[in-house]
Structure formats: C-alpha cells, structure tokens
Amino acid sequence: THLLISRNFLASVILEAGATGPYGRLMTGQITLSQLVTELDEDCKKAAAAAEIFLPEKFSVAQIFGDFLDEGRLNTPLLDAAVTLRKNGFKTCVLTNNWIDDSLWKGTVALILPLLRRHFDLVIESCRIGLQKPDPKIYEYALRMLEAEPHEVIFLDDIGTNLKPAREMGIATILFRDLEMALKELQDLSGVQLLGEEEGFPTACDPASVSHGYVPVKPGVQLHFVEMGHGPVVCLCHGFPESWFSWRYQIPALADAGFRVIALDMKGYGDSSAPPDIKEYSQEEICKVRNEIVAGIFQTVFIGHDWGGSVVWNMSLFYPERVKAVASLNTPYKSADPNVDIMEAIKAHPAFDYQLFFQKPGVAEAELEEDLARTFKIMIRSIKKQVDGLPPLPLSAGGVLVGLPKDPPPSLILPEPDLQYYIQQYKKSGFRGPLNWYRNMQTNWSWRCSARGRKVRAAGVALGIPQLTRGHIEECGHWTQMERPAALNKILIKWLEDIHSKALLQRISRL
C-alpha cells in the first residue's frame, strides 16, 4: 500500500513538472538516472510539504525506481512475432522512451536492451537522440533511420497518446491492449502469418557480431571459442563435420535465458589449432584440453553433439569435479566393454563402415576436400525430402559421397550464407584434424576401459545414469541443432533451469 501511494504521489509530481522537469530531461538524455533521483527527491519533499502529505523520513524515489526496473519483462510472443517479421524481409525497430542508467541498482531492464539489439535491426532510445514520444520529431527521425515512408511502416504501442502523431503522419498504428488481438492486427497489416504458425527458426548469431576469443592449451596449440551472455557457464561442443557455428541457433537463446555460453571450435576445426599428429586427437588429450579451458570455473555444464557428445560423457567420467551436468545430442552413453575389441565391434556393424574408410590418412581427406560445397550440402541435410530426393549417404568403406550427384540440391538446413561460412572455415585446415578423431578408436577404447565401473555423476540423456533426464524430438535427423532448433532450445533451457537455482539466473526470456 505504501509503495502504491508513493508511486501515485511520484506520478503527480512528475506530471506537474512537465517536459522541462527532471523526468522529461531524463528521457531526452539531459540528466542521468542518479541525477533524476536527487532532483526528484527534492521536488517530492517540496510537494509533500505544500500538500501537507506525510512522507517517511527515509523516503526516496530510488526504491521505487529500483522496484520498477526489476519488474521489467519482455513480451516473448511479441518478440517472436518481430523475429518472424524480420525473417520475412521486414526491417524491425524498437522505439523507446528510455534513460541513461548510471545507478547502482540496475535491474532486468538493463539486461533487456542488449537482447533487443540482437533481435532487431534498430533500437532507438529517446535519451540518445534528445527526442521522446509523442514528439512528432522522434517519428520523423525513426523514418529516416529506417529509410522508409510513413505508409510503409506499422507502429505498435501500448499508450494511445504515442500513436496519435504517428497516425496523423500516415503510419499504420496498433494500440496494444490484448496480445492476441494485437498479433491479429499485425498479421493482417503485414500479411505475415503470426498466429498458429508452424515452428520457426530462432534467431541465429552472426559470426561477425559475436565475441570471439582464444585460449592456449599447450605450446603451439590454442582453441578458438565464441562467447555470449552472463551467468552460469554452459560449454557447447560440436561434432563432425561441424564448427562452433553449428550452435548458432542455441547461443543467443541460452544467453537470453541467463547463461554464459561458450561455444568451442574443437581441436582441428575452424580457427582452433590443427596439429597433424593423430595422437593429439585422442579423447584423453581432448578432455585434458577441456579441463584446461574451464580451469578457472568452479563447475560447468557441458552439452555435446556427435563427437562432442563423447567428449562430454568422458569429461563426466574423468573430470567429475569440473562438471555440473552433461547433455548429449544423438550420442547416447555406452560404457566400454574390455571383452569386446572396439574395431571388431565397428566391423560387425555395416552402418559404421564409413569409420573404417576414415582410418587411412589422406584417403577420406581427398574425397571430402575435393568440393567443399558438395560435401556439406550432401552431409548436412534434413530428414525432410529434399528438392530432388537425394538417396541416403552410402557411409561405406568405399567412401561417403560415392554415387551421389556432383551438384546436389541446396540443403534445407544449410542456406547459402551458412554454407559459405562452413566452406571458409574448412579451407583453413581441411579435414585432417577432424578425421584424426576417428583414428583414435583403439586408444579411446583402452582409456575408457580404465574407467569401467564408474558412474556418470551428472544429469544426462541416456539409460542407466543417475539423475537422468531424457528429451525426444520427433521428425528430426542427426543435425538436431539446425533441423529443430526451437524444440531443442526449449528442452535445453528447461533442463538448465532445473539444474540451476532459478534465483541465480538473471533470466530475461525463453525463446
């Protein structure tokens, strides 16, 4: 009750001061938030004395603003609609009355702006340009920045007075009161389906705008990684033949959910070092490297796909003190059996014949490096029928691309810009490093046998594991992160939130 009274009183003081008062000058960037608090505290005391209103001795607008900042939340369905519009060719913009926040009590609002900048083409803040809604000049400024005419723009706001001048300029407007009604109006005006649409693709991170780094792991060898977000650490480990970029749909979503995401280029891939020695790629050596990477972090969640899945299971077996939890995509956990030689087991399963083809250095490299575009378009593809229905990969001891078209159709899950990024990455070191992972089968088997009897002390997605959690996605092939990214993100975020205390997560939204 006291807070409500204080807010009502504060609102009356702000309105009385008008556009030239502290709040008006805050919104146009003339003063900062901490300066506003000082000025408003004085104005409130004067107004209270004049109206004979009792204010507590320690009254300050700082508490009210701090509570307000913590209440800030994104409207996730509207954000999803904006992402969909952007994917359909619309330029998107956030036009907000905002302030320069130099306070000590930064809340959720301070975390939301970096997220918005990842998902919108433009974020225009009143405090940065000296204009605020509903001044018509701010809409003229937005039109110039968007390089658009009024009749080409749709403007949605939850305050009617902000819409009036925009509407008078010829801009189509939507007053937000009800979510479904607003989305229906937006759908009708844009011509883009926003209600009841099929599962879409989340926002992917752009290699040019994400933070890149390197960590030395031993003399002459370093690993490249990308990083995004703040909070508990999640380390993403890709498989073959991939790159950190395989996690492009997961990195922003996990960062937005309140995690610090580190996606690695595994040894031999992309911008990481690619030493030629086969022994450098044994699981024992790879896991030693992972242990060095997280040496300064108490415990890390590891998520792996394909070969990356093997790495995260082995991290949980051999370095459990470093592991908070592990999740593996498409790579179920299986303990090593010292009574069954691993190479004999591979030979007994025709589906693994391609691993025999990979054993002799230089042979598979020649096939896969001959035409990188062809290699990736054939290997990284959806289980959904392609344009001309490519047959399944041969995956035989005679080659993995044998009998397949020289000019295959585009991959449904690897559009041209993404394909070109993969090609660029593999031109750096080729396939020798990635294929060397397969040339340590016997070594890996012997090492894993030394851990027989140990249990995976982490949450996982395989049978016979303590604290087991399982996730299943229908109509999805091997490339889970790219084929069903939204479904995967939902599973991973729920799992991560269950692992970590939600009170520790500065959670902004679930994408």
Domains in the chain: boundaries? 8-70, 73-190, 212-510
Q: Which residues contact 352 (CB under 8 A, 6 or more apart)?
A: 346
Count CB atoms within 10 A of the CB of residue 132: 22
| CA proximity to 194, closest of 163, 154, 159, 160 | 154
**pLDDT tens-place values along the chain, 511 residues long:** 344 455 677 788 888 888 899 999 999 999 998 899 899 889 988 988 898 888 777 878 887 777 666 655 667 788 889 988 998 899 999 999 998 888 766 555 666 787 788 889 999 999 999 999 999 999 999 999 999 999 999 999 999 999 999 999 999 999 999 999 999 999 999 999 888 766 678 889 999 989 999 999 889 999 999 999 988 999 999 999 999 999 999 999 999 888 999 999 999 999 999 999 999 999 999 998 776 666 567 689 999 999 999 999 999 989 888 899 999 999 888 888 888 889 999 899 888 889 999 999 999 999 999 999 999 999 999 887 654 456 666 556 578 898 889 999 999 899 999 999 999 999 999 999 999 999 999 999 999 998 877 777 554 444 446 676 788 888 899 999 999 999 999 999 999 988 886 434 444 333 3
Concerning whether 349 is annotated as a catalytic residue, the answer is no
Query: Choosing from 139, 269, 354, 438, which is the catalytic residue?
Result: 438
Query: Choosing from 41, 101, 421, 478, which is the catalytic residue?
Result: 478
Q: Which residue reads 């080409």 in tokens?
A: 152
Q: Which residue reads 């330029």 in tokens?
A: 91
CB 310 within 8 A of CB 304: yes
Query: Choosing from 256, 265, 271, 306, which is the catalytic residue?
Result: 306
| CA proximity to 48, closest of 21, 9, 15, 18 | 9
In this structure, which topology does domain 8-70 adopt according to CATH? Answer: DNA polymerase; domain 1 (1.10.150)
Comparing 8-70 with 212-510, is the CATH topology the same? no
CATH number, domain 73-190, options 3.30.930.10, 3.90.110.10, 3.40.50.1000, 3.90.226.10: 3.40.50.1000
Provide φ and ψ at 278, rounded to 5°.
-60, -40
465-492 burial: b if 16+ Cβ within 10 Å, else e: beeeeeeeeeebbbbbbbbbbebbbbbb
Q: Rounded CA gap, 288 and 274, in Å?
A: 16
Q: Rounded CA gap, 99 and 25, in Å?
A: 9
Q: Rounded CA gap, 82 and 99, in Å?
A: 23
Domain 212-510 = CATH 3.40.50.2300: no
**Quick one: three-class SS letters along 93-152?**
EEEECCCCCCCCCCCHHHHHHHHHHHHCCEEEEHHHHCCCCCCHHHHHHHHHHHCCCHHH
Q: What is the signed CA dihedral for 473, 476, 477, 480, rounded to 10 degrees?
A: -60
Where does 368-466 show beta strands of DSSP type E?
Answer: none
Q: Coil, strand, or helix at residue 41?
A: helix
Question: What are the angstrom distances between the C-alpha of 321 and each of 231, 261, 324, 373, 457?
Answer: 19, 20, 8, 42, 9
Q: Rounded CA gap, 434 and 308, in Å?
A: 12
